[in-house]
A and B are shown apart, each in its own frame.
Chain A
Amino acid sequence: GEDVEQSLFLSVREGDSSVINCTYTDSSSTYLYWYKQEPGAGLQLLTYIFSNMDMKQDQRLTVLLNKKDKHLSLRIADTQTGDSAIYFCAESFSGGYQKVTFGIGTKLQVIP
């Protein structure tokens, strides 16, 4: 069955790098996502990676995928206080056309 797991909490100092980790169980997943949810707000799609890729970089964000271990990570360089939010790892089989399965979310706290 589908399952996405991630740690609940991460605390980093402003200016440091943050690394949020995620594992998933469905080997047929083709899209792997990172969404951001700020307090009282909806979900913002940060980035996504196809399962045939190892890495994707987008400005301060780097996504690494280890398909063999079904491990996904999100690195945020030079973390800012505005990055404080809950980050959801998610996966789907066929992009947006089917159900997206979410992890429980990692709350990132950035200490000034």
Chain B
Amino acid sequence: SAVISQKPSRDICQRGTSLTIQCQVDSQVTMMFWYRQQPGQSLTLIATANQGSEATYESGFVIDKFPISRPNLTFSTLTVSNMSPEDSSIYLCSVAGGVTDTQYFGPGTRLTVL
């Protein structure tokens, strides 16, 4: 399976600010995804990060709030913009393709917005 790292692992931010989360994979993968896990809840897909084109967002999520970059086959970023306490969640990236056809998850970024 692919080895996935995320930075930062956790952060505490003030409302109104933005945070960019990085996801790095140790091998080239076709697909990268960003999920949100709100406290005590399951995972919800935010968007699919496509290499060389704009991300594809799920219903309820918009690019202005969650801009995503995917500059190459091993790296992606998710920005949480203009944060509010409701954005406090764990944000996880996952990957598929390359050496794997199932989704493997990174360790997550635990975000607290005050």
Interface residues of A (CB under 8 A from B): 31, 33, 35, 40-45, 48, 88, 92, 95-97, 99-100, 102-105
| Interface residues contributed by chain B, number (CB under 8 Å) | 25
In the complex, the number of residue pairs spanning A and B with C-beta atoms less than 8 Å apart equals 58
Report yes or no: A96 in contact with B102, Cβ–Cβ below 8 A. yes
The 12 listed contacts between A and B (C-beta, < 8 Å) are A41-B107, A42-B108, A43-B94, A43-B105, A45-B103, A45-B104, A48-B102, A88-B42, A95-B96, A96-B104, A97-B30, A103-B42
7 more CB-based (< 8 A) A-B contacts, given A96-B95, A96-B96, A96-B102: A43-B92, A43-B108, A92-B103, A96-B31, A99-B33, A99-B45, A100-B103
Q: Are A35 and B105 in contact (CB under 8 A)?
A: yes
Chain A to chain B: the 6 pairs with minimum beta-carbon distance, closest first: A96-B96, A42-B107, A43-B105, A96-B103, A102-B42, A42-B108
Is B45 touching A97 in the complex (CB atoms < 8 A)?
Answer: no
Q: Contacts A33-B102, A45-B102, A104-B42 hold; do A99 and B58 have CB atoms under 8 A apart?
A: yes
B106 partner residues in chain A, CB cutoff 8 A: 42
Complex contacts, A105 vs chain B, CB 8 Å: 42
At the interface, yes or no: B101 with Cβ under 8 Å from chain A? yes
